[in-house]
């Protein structure tokens, strides 16, 4: 994901992803692992435009 999310947002995200993944996969929450990769806007692009330039549009 793009950098800039708060710790609280990440906590909520991993909580929801964990709960739903465990439900769908019929396993326990303890079996779910989540890694968050934060990417600077200069290191990703969409349709030939860098993420940091999209904010300028």
Q: What is the pLDDT along the chain (57 residues), one digit of tens a residue?
A: 989 999 999 999 999 999 999 999 999 999 999 999 999 988 999 999 998 898 765
* Residue 28 in domain: yes
What is the predicted pLDDT for the residue at 26? Answer: 98
CA distances for 44 relative to 24, 37, 54, 55, 57, angstroms: 30, 12, 11, 13, 16
Residue 1 lies in a domain: no
Q: What is the predicted pLDDT for the residue at 56?
A: 66
Residue 2 lies in a domain: no
Q: What is the pTM of this model?
A: 0.77
Which range of residues forms the domain containing residue 37? 7-54
């Amino acid at each position: 994901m793009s950098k800039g999310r708060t710790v609280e947002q990440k906590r909520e995200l991993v909580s929801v992803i964990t709960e739903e993944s465990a439900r769908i996969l019929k396993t326990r929450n303890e079996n779910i692992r989540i890694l968050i990769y934060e990417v600077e806007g200069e290191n990703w692009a969409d349709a030939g435009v860098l993420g940091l330039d999209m904010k300028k549009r």
